């Protein structure tokens, strides 16, 4: 199953995607820190006794800098793992009480956004492409963007982005799933961006910057950006931009791509898929679809506020601290999907209840799920304006002087388009 998204923010002069929850956040440790700490040539490592002296190590310093509390009886980690000096030592580490904003971020990345009927719901985490814009906004433009994304300051925004990028880095070593996040800025080569802004997006968002010639060769820039997005999403998202999306007045394009590919823990058997099943649509029509099914034990729950049944389908993963889950919501008989969606978008706490596994039980289910591929492209300008982010789209009011100096911003830098494109493929494997 492969959900993939790409978001693009264009400046002139987040769909149903992957839901990811993390357990035991306190145990998460940056692999790069472990690698440096546990190198067999490191003086902190005792090869003969298979132990690691944690005190004064890179991990210890990291814990101090990030205000983690370390709960060890001794300052040494001892393991019987044959690869003890490699990454698996991570399983013996117990870093507790991670920063609270990390917990908030993990459960809701990437941003779930409904192009229609948003009903005033505020996204509970950052859409990274928009966050990179907000980092360069100032005054009322900044205030509106921070309000929409429930962030208190640019410093808070940067820290939250770092936490998101940190979690994605943890999955780099997972052999069971592929999860990739890529951020890039395309700027007009004659347009000077603020050094502080470039430093922030490179450090916090791990974004790289490419300078292009929008003024004289915008068609070529479109081809360049589309080729990069296609590569980052394993060729699943093609033609993110059209030549109509970019003009000679374009000064900056911010692109964010997320790619996920996972394998079910409980796979569906292909020979059991009904190739000509009846599917009852909301308007009463019956369509013919491919319908997968299996009888197996899954995490199951019911939500009385929504009148729905909920099943959580897990993906395989090497990392015990991170769980990848596909959540299926089925309205009970007599309840319309539109009604469920309205409640979800107007009452954000209900979405958290649905995604949570706190009230689930293991139950044997006869589970039927359509086999499908879906691709959609949305312009999110209207959605964001409805949420209160108005100045950023107004050439007379937008203030992005955190990106460019006032001298370079004579024509008024503003956001002309926010484009989100998603692709999802749900199949037996």
Provide the pLDDT for residue 44.
53
* Token pair of 318 as six digits: 């090497």
**Token pair of 131, please?**
């966050």
Residues with Cβ within 8 Å of residue 14, at least 6 apart in sequence: 5, 7, 110, 111, 112, 113, 123, 127, 130, 420
Domain locations in the chain as residue ranges: 2-20+102-262+377-426
Supply the pTM of this predicted model: 0.63
* Superfamily holding 2-20+102-262+377-426: Antithrombin, subunit I, domain 2 (3.30.497.10)
Please tell me the predicted confidence (pLDDT) of residue 140: 96
- Residues near 329 by beta carbon (within 8 Å), at least 6 away in sequence: 306, 308, 309, 310, 340, 354
Nearest to 332 by CA among 295, 365, 302: 302
- Tell me what pLDDT residue 223 has: 93
Q: How far apart are CA 408 and CA 209, in angstroms?
A: 18
Mean pLDDT, consecutive 10-residue stretches, the chain (429 aa), reads 51 30 29 38 49 51 48 40 32 29 30 33 54 91 89 85 79 80 81 87 86 90 90 84 86 80 87 87 83 90 89 84 81 86 80 79 88 78 86 89 71 78 79
Pairing mode of beta strands 414-426, 2-12: antiparallel
Six-digit token pair at 57? 């190590």
Cα distance between residue 111 and residue 134, in whole Å: 15
| DSSP bridge pairs for 354 | none
Give helix then strand counts, H and E, for the chain.
11, 16
Strand pairing category for 308-314 and 274-280: unpaired
Which of 140, 97, 221 has its CA nearest to residue 400?
140
Reported as half-sphere exposure (CB side, CA atoms, 13 A), residue 368 has a value of: 9
How far are the Cα atoms of 47, 216, 228 from residue 363, in angstroms, in the given order? 46, 61, 43
The residue among 183, 180, 153, 185 whose CA lies nearest residue 167 is 180
- Give the tokens for residue 281: 């649509």
Residue appearing with tokens 């925004």: 157
3 state DSSP class of 102: helix
pLDDT on residue 144: 94
- DSSP secondary structure of 197-259: HHHHHHHHS--EEEEE-HHHHHHHHHHHHHHHHHHHTTTSS-----GGG--TTEEEEEEEEEE
Q: Residue 88: enclosing H or E segment and its boundaries?
A: none
Report yes or no: 132 and 151 within 8 Å, Cβ to Cβ. no
What CA–CA distance (Å, rounded) separates 87 from 62?
17
């Amino acid at each position: 199953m492969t959900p993939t998204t790409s978001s693009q923010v264009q400046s002139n002069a987040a769909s149903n995607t992957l839901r990811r929850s993390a357990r035991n956040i306190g145990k998460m440790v940056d692999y790069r820190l472990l690698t440096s700490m546990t190198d067999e040539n490191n003086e902190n490592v005792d090869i003969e006794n298979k132990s690691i002296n944690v005190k004064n190590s890179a991990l210890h310093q990291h814990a101090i800098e990030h205000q983690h509390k370390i709960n060890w009886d001794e300052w040494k980690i001892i393991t019987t793992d044959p690869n003890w000096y490699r990454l698996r030592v991570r399983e013996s580490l117990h870093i507790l009480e991670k920063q609270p904003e990390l917990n908030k971020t993990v459960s809701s990345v990437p941003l779930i956004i409904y192009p229609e009927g948003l009903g005033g719901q505020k996204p509970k985490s950052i859409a990274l492409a928009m966050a990179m814009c907000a980092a360069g906004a100032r005054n009322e433009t900044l205030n509106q963007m921070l309000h929409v994304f429930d962030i208190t300051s640019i410093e808070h925004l940067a820290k939250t982005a770092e936490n998101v990028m940190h979690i994605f880095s943890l999955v780099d070593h997972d052999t069971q799933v592929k999860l990739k996040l890529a951020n890039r800025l395309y700027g007009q080569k004659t347009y000077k961006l603020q050094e502080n802004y470039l430093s922030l997006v490179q450090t916090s968002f791990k974004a790289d910057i490419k300078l292009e010639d929008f003024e004289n060769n915008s068609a070529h820039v479109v081809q360049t950006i589309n080729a990069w997005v296609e590569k980052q999403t394993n060729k699943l998202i093609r033609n993110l931009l059209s030549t109509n999306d970019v003009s000679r007045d374009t000064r900056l394009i911010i692109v964010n791509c997320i790619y996920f590919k996972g394998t079910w823990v409980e796979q569906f058997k292909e020979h059991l898929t009904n190739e000509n099943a009846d599917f009852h649509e909301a308007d009463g029509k019956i369509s013919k679809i491919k319908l997968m099914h299996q009888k197996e034990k899954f995490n199951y729950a019911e939500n009385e506020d929504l009148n729905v049944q909920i099943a959580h389908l897990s993906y395989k993963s090497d990392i015990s601290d991170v769980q990848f889950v596909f959540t299926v919501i089925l309205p009970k008989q007599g309840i319309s999907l539109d009604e469920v969606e309205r409640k979800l978008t107007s009452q954000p706490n209900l979405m958290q209840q649905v995604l949570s596994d706190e009230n689930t039980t293991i139950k044997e289910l006869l589970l039927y799920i359509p086999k499908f591929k879906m691709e959609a492209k949305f312009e999110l300008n209207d959605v964001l304006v409805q949420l209160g982010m108005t100045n950023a789209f107004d050439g007379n009011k937008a203030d992005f002087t955190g990106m460019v100096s006032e001298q370079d911003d004579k024509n008024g830098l503003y956001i002309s388009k926010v484009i989100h494109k998603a692709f999802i493929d749900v199949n037996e494997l």
